[in-house]
Amino acid sequence: MNIAIFASGKGTNFSVIARALKKGRIRARLSLLVCDNKGALVIKRAKEAGVKIALVKREDFSSKKEFESRIIKHLRAEKIGLIVLAGFMRLLSPWFVKQYKNRILNIHPALLPSFKGAEGIRDAFNYGVKVTGVTVHFVDEDMDHGPIILQDAVLIKKDDTPASLEAKIHKLEHRLYPEAIRLFAKGRLRLEGRRVKVSTQ
């Protein structure tokens, strides 16, 4: 199975996933990075990992449909079977999601359905909850909404700061995301309505 990672920024999850694939923990091939930001550090990471890069900038296209169509052209050329969103700062349209239904994963730095959106860590901290965490889920037509694959929790302690909480969240992301991809690659994820069942084999 060929995997494409979509990212717009630093690419720490990209590197963690790439290492897991290289070590054989995931039976798949990282075939493509899709990036919409020419200044993103993830591009350097992809070059160092020997991963093909598709730099597709939204401003180069007159419509979102044209932008997403160009991305799909790259995906089809590489015969991509799974899309992994890792800090891709654009919402995919329902049309795009339909093309890869149940083949797009996302990671969110909170326990969905709580604290949706781009600032999940900050929002949880500012709200004052005692527990937050990380969610890996299938992507559907709504933001941070698809069926949940894996979740795990992080305690917010009295001496935590937004920065220390972010570090905890990222550490958890780096454990959960490769595991979710591994389960998908082994065919162990089964959707029953909005619930995801993980088979033992």
Tens-digit pLDDT profile for residues 48-104: 999 999 999 999 999 999 999 999 999 999 999 999 999 999 999 999 999 999 999
Q: Both 44 and 3 in a single domain?
A: yes
| The total number of residues written for the chain in this structure | 201
d(CA 124, CA 186): 33
Instruction: Kindly give the interhelix angle for 12-22 and 162-185, rounded to the nearest 10 degrees.
Output: 40
- Provide the H-helix boundaries in the chain: 12-22, 41-49, 64-77, 94-99, 120-127, 162-185
Q: Collect the ranges in the chain with pLDDT lower than 50.
A: none
Residues 123/110, Cβ–Cβ less than 8 Å:
yes
Residues 135/107, Cβ–Cβ less than 8 Å:
yes
- SS3 call for 116: coil
pLDDT of 63: 96
Q: 88 is written with which tokens? A: 């891709």
Q: Both 115 and 87 in a single domain?
A: no
Classify the C-alpha dihedral 5-91-163-180 as positive or negative.
Answer: negative
pLDDT of 118: 85
Amino acid letter at 194? Answer: R
d(CA 32, CA 1): 12
Residues 20/182, Cβ–Cβ less than 8 Å:
yes
CATH of the domain at 57: 3.40.50.170
Given 57, 82, 100, the domain boundary residue is 100
Classify the C-alpha dihedral 27-134-40-19 as positive or negative.
Answer: negative
pLDDT of 145: 83
Which residues are catalytic, by number?
A: 108
Domain count, the chain: 2
Q: Both 130 and 197 in a single domain?
A: yes
Q: Both 175 and 189 in a single domain?
A: yes
Q: Both 88 and 176 in a single domain?
A: no
Domain of residue 60: give its range.
1-100
Q: Both 90 and 110 in a single domain?
A: no
pLDDT of 201: 63
Amino acid letter at 182? Answer: R
Q: Which residues, at least 6 apart from 91, have a Cβ–Cβ distance to it below 8 Å?
A: 143
Q: Both 91 and 118 in a single domain?
A: no
d(CA 200, CA 157): 35
